[in-house]
Structure 1
Amino acid sequence: MARFAGQRALVTGGAAGIGLATARALAAEGARLALLDIDAARLEAAAAELHAAGAEALPILGSVAGPEPVAEAFARIDARWGGLDILVNNAGVIGKRAALDLTDEDWARVMRINLDGVFFCAREAGRRMVAQGSGAIVNLGSIYSLVAAPERLAYCASKAAVAAMTKVLAIEWAAHGVRVNAVAPGYVETDLIGAAVRAGELDTAPLVRRTPVGRLARPEEIARAILFLLDPANAYVTGHVLAVDGGWTAYGYV
């Protein structure tokens, strides 16, 4: 039997990259998918692809960067399926700027999406999951949840906070049958990384050299780690931040 047959899942930032790879993997295991994203064209294309593969998919155009749009998204899921079993908090942004050049707007944007958005979605999901006595949440952290890098103050701070939030929620909700974990990916071959490369903000060659396995991750590899943490067979795993980074955070030589 499919691991997630009939389960109701929400993937934020689900129209591309890690989010879409995760949605595909969940759909292949029988889940019903809600995709929340701000890119209308990609969102419709992703939903159409999942439908064509035989999955039930609900595209929701909206942002995680405020409590009102998040509440509206969850209301649509309630109207469709009557609740939620799985949340993958994937939506996020990157930013590269020296700390002294970081504007209030830069800081607020990263925090609003990477941190507040995770909280808003987790809170809405938690209310439903605690009430029903079951559920699983995976938050997307980063290698920069675990280690630091220059010119990424807002990003590192937001992702480190996601790791701490994951642990607090796991502790609070464990007795209610709700598990909360996080994955901490290294650099992944996504459109987000591609855009940073095209903008001259990122050079992947030194990143590949720095990674012990000698390459960037593929979105599907991160998706498989997410499904491991969501799997009911791993019911004793909660409050964990799983590095999926090709050895990046383990490597401390030169």
Structure 2
Amino acid sequence: MSRRFADRRALVTGGAAGIGLATARALAAEGARIALLDIDAPRLDETAAELRGTGAEVHALAASVADPDAVRAAFAELDSRWGGLDILVNNAGVIGKRAALDLTDEAWSRVMRINLDGVFYCAREAGRRMVAQGSGAIVNLGSIYSLVAAPERLAYCASKAAVAAMTKVLAIEWAAHGVRVNAVAPGYVETDLIAAAVRAGEIDTVPLARRTPVGRLARPDEIARAILFLLDPANAYVTGHMLAVDGGWTAYGYV
């Protein structure tokens, strides 16, 4: 196993499960020091214990990315512990299914607070530190719905499209300071979030797999590998890019 992230200080939001956990595992396996930020405190503690069992240095931060004060406090805690940050993976997010005319103010605001505001709050705090030190890499989690649209997904599509634009703006602003900002656009992934949506009757993975050219949903580790590709210092000329990791979903235009 390579050690391309040896001693790098990495923060993964939504790190207690799914893509966040897979990314934390992959970073830890390559030598990174890991901070996990998640609102689910019990699961966060379990995940941190699991990773520590592999010999990784792990710090758990129970907080919501939608709370700017909590985000500032989390980054201040990392300042005290590590004195800075090298990597941010903005993974925390929520989904939802509701027709536009039935979309309540609260449902709209919840998606925007977590999927968009939370990405901004964490990127801003990370950017302040990375710009000052002259180095750093950020990967934001977009979606296939950053690139294409779907019915009954207005808030989600709007939030993820905004993440794509934010990624480009931050990449442009911070490039001269040695900070790279990229994003991944996953297709449907086998996560607890998707499983919960299936149980709620919001999605059916059978037609989703059929719609995907490779014929299946992604595994979290497949998205994690794409994230690590974008974080890799060897790819220092890649910034402002959104990498679709979707089994061909966005390339496929035939019904």
TM-score, with length taken from structure 1: 0.99
Superposed CA offset, 1:125-182 (max 9, x none):
0000000000000000000000000000000000000000000000000000000000
Q: Distance in 2 between matches of 1:45 and 1:79?
A: 24
Q: Cα distance, 1:41 vs. partner? A: 1.3
Give SS of 1:83's match: coil
Corresponding residue number in structure 2 for 1:162: 163
Q: Distance in 2 between matches of 1:50 and 1:3?
A: 18
Superposed CA offset, 1:4-29 (max 9, x none):
00000000000000000000000000
Q: Distance in 1 between matches of 2:80 and 2:107?
A: 36
Corresponding residue number in structure 2 for 1:222: 223
Corresponding residue number in structure 2 for 1:48: 49
Give SS of 1:182's match: strand
Counterpart amino acid of residue 135 in structure 1: G
Corresponding residue number in structure 1 for 2:13: 12
Fraction of identical pairs, as percent: 86
Corresponding residue number in structure 2 for 1:63: 64
Give SS of 2:137's match: strand
Counterpart amino acid of residue 10 in structure 1: L
Superposed CA offset, 1:182-234 (max 9, x none):
00000000000000000111100110010000000000000000000000000
Corresponding residue number in structure 2 for 1:175: 176
Corresponding residue number in structure 2 for 1:137: 138
Corresponding residue number in structure 1 for 2:97: 96
Counterpart amino acid of residue 36 in structure 1: L
Superposed CA offset, 1:18-71 (max 9, x none):
000000000000000000001111100110011100000000000000210100
Instruction: Could you tell me which runs of 5 or more consecutive residues in structure 1 were left unpaired when the two chains were aligned.
Output: none
Q: Distance in 2 between matches of 1:96 and 1:201?
A: 6
For the aligned residues, what is the CA RMSD? 0.5
Corresponding residue number in structure 2 for 1:200: 201
Counterpart amino acid of residue 245 in structure 2: V
- Aligned length, in residue pairs: 254
Counterpart amino acid of residue 171 in structure 1: I
Superposed CA offset, 1:56-108 (max 9, x none):
00000000002101001101111110110000000000010000000000000
Stretches of 4+ moved more than 2 A in 1? none
Give SS of 1:179's match: strand
Corresponding residue number in structure 2 for 1:127: 128
Q: Distance in 1 between matches of 2:58 and 2:221?
A: 19
Q: Distance in 1 between matches of 2:127 and 2:176?
A: 12
Instruction: Could you tell me which runs of 5 or more consecutive residues in structure 2 were left unpaired when the two chains were aligned.
Output: none
Does 1:118 pair with 2:119?
Answer: yes
Q: Distance in 1 between matches of 2:152 and 2:231?
A: 33
Give SS of 1:197's match: helix
Q: Distance in 2 between matches of 1:35 and 1:234?
A: 24
Corresponding residue number in structure 1 for 2:23: 22
Counterpart amino acid of residue 236 in structure 1: Y
